[in-house]
Amino acid sequence: MQTDSSFTFVLFGGTGDLSMRKILPALFEAHRAGGMLADSGKIVAVARHAADRGEYLQWVNEHVKPYVSKNGVDETAWASFLERIEFVKIDLGNPEDFTLLRDAVKDLPGIRVFYLATGPSLFVPICRALASVGLNENARIVLEKPLGYDLKSSNAINDAVGEIFAEEQIYRIDHYLGKEPVQNLLALRFGNALFEPLWRREWVESIQITIAEELGVEARGDFYDNTGALRDMVQNHLLQLLSIVAMEPPHSMDSDSVRDEKLRVLRALKPIDPLDIGKVAVRGQYHSGGIRGSAVPAYATEPGVKPNSTTETFVALKVEIENWRWAGVPFFLRTGKRLADRVAEIVVNFRAVPHSALGVSALRAGANRLVIRLQPNETIRLYCLAKQPGEGMNLASVHLDLAFDQFFREGQMEAYQRLLLDVINGRLALFVRRDEQEAAWRWVEPILNEWKASNKPPKPYASGTWGPAAASAMLAQHGTCWLEEEN
């Protein structure tokens, strides 16, 4: 992925956690690879916690360098990367300070990319301040999640930003869409005749999508207690992954063709009846327990969390899609904090054979299964039954690996690196369009409202487990279980 596109990448929140752990390391990896970033491209960090460029570069050396290059830092590449970085000290609450930014970038080349690695409350003020100094022309704006608290607040942000930037200038980022296995899922489905005929209700028993974290809320207690797992993970990451899995073949891989098909999935989600929420939606909150032998506190005792908080740290949902391809196939979505392992995966369970002369094991649903692992390691595995060596026809589950590192010499690109290059090069396919976001909020909001109205506390679960027992019971009602429960 080489480019000659010159750019000026303006990073708001230049000393924030996201910039430190993800954005600047991703830009460095693109720089180190050679040819991915135009030599003339510049990075302009905006913050108020450094006095000048020298102090900011010192901060980058101390805080960003530990997150780059797992196999060590190429010092020559690192030194030349630092030469790309400029710094502007701005108080984001003072629109007059944006004249300093205008003056700093006016002679820098190429397309301007404004990355808002800030809280959502600053999105609109920053955009208005950029427009006030004429920086909204020949520009792209990147908005991090969460984009609003509900449909109304999301629309308010989108309306205000949309008055300043055209839709094709707005890049709403969801880093899960940039992960290599998600891209390979599209390649598997739409580049091969093998899978697509089976990718439908006649052959698929159920689909699971899990994003599990071992960590708790860490230092984000204030934010998380006003957000919860449904807003933080389901409305964006999980529903975006669901739409990728379930979408129809697009006309092409251009941005609107892909996003049109994702939108059709989101609009086809079966609305959840408030009377049925107790059957198809499980919310939980972690209590004290142990993670890999270390004791961890309960959510309610975390810093910044209200002692009697009813915010959920776990959600499991049964979702249905009302269209001809997927009618009757349950999609089980799950996310949570302080769970037994850090894993993100998509599990496609195919139906059992209709009749077997090889024994009952061949009649088990899920004997044929596709597992797309997004983290911690990125792999795709196809499970099937094979005969065990020896006497008799005894079957065992085996798997075929898509071992990317054995076929391709290039290392896998990190999600943020891919997406930042897409912004610089003007590729919108892996970013969320406004109507997608609205459709997701519209489906999620009745669940939020019902949970608030019922005032029922989340179900407790011990840290280091896989969440409340009710999540397993929900799948058991459909004759299935979560993947880890089979072992």
Element (H, E) at 185: helix 180-191
63 marked ligand binding residue: no
CB 403 within 8 A of CB 180: no
Task: Count Cβ atoms within 10 A of the Cβ of residue 369 and give its class: 0-12 exposed, 13-18 middle, 19 or more buried.
Answer: buried
Give dist(CA 225, CA 290) in Å, integer.
22
CB 140 within 8 A of CB 110: no
Looking at 180-317, list the stretches that DSSP marks H as alpha helix, in order from N- to C-terminal side.
180-191, 221-225, 228-229, 239-246, 255-268, 277-280
The one catalytic residue in 31, 63, 237, 478 is: 237
Residue 205, SS3 per DSSP:
strand
* Known catalytic membership, residue 49: no
Task: Count Cβ atoms within 10 A of the Cβ of residue 143 and give its class: 0-12 exposed, 13-18 middle, 19 or more buried.
Answer: buried
CB 286 within 8 A of CB 462: yes
CB 36 within 8 A of CB 2: yes
User: Side-chain half-sphere of 361: how many Cα atoms within 13 Å?
Assistant: 11
Amino acid 308 reads N
Task: Work out whether the CA dihedral 386, 389, 395, 398 comes out positive or negative.
Answer: negative
Angle between helices 53-63 and 75-84 (to 10 degrees): 140
Residue 234, SS3 per DSSP:
helix
232 marked ligand binding residue: yes
Give dist(CA 229, CA 51) in Å, integer.
37
CA end-to-end distance (rounded Å), the chain? 41
CB 309 within 8 A of CB 330: no
91 marked ligand binding residue: yes
Looking at 312-433, list the stretches that DSSP marks H as alpha helix, in order from N- to C-terminal side.
404-407, 415-424
Strand 281-287 vs strand 314-319: parallel, antiparallel, or unpaired? Answer: antiparallel
213 marked ligand binding residue: yes
CB 213 within 8 A of CB 337: yes
DSSP string, 116-129: E-S-GGGHHHHHHH
145 marked ligand binding residue: yes
CB 341 within 8 A of CB 360: no
Joined together, the tokens standing for residue 173 give 């980022």
Q: Which residue has the tokens 């799948």?
A: 475
179 marked ligand binding residue: yes
Which residues touch 457 (CB under 8 Å, ≥6 apart)?
Answer: 285, 310
CB 315 within 8 A of CB 334: yes
CB 416 within 8 A of CB 431: no
Binding residues for NADP(+), as ranges, are 48, 91-92, 145
Binding residues, as ranges, are 48, 91-92, 145, 175, 179, 213, 232, 337
What amino acid positions are annotated as catalytic residues? 237
Binding residues for substrate, as ranges, are 175, 179, 213, 232, 337
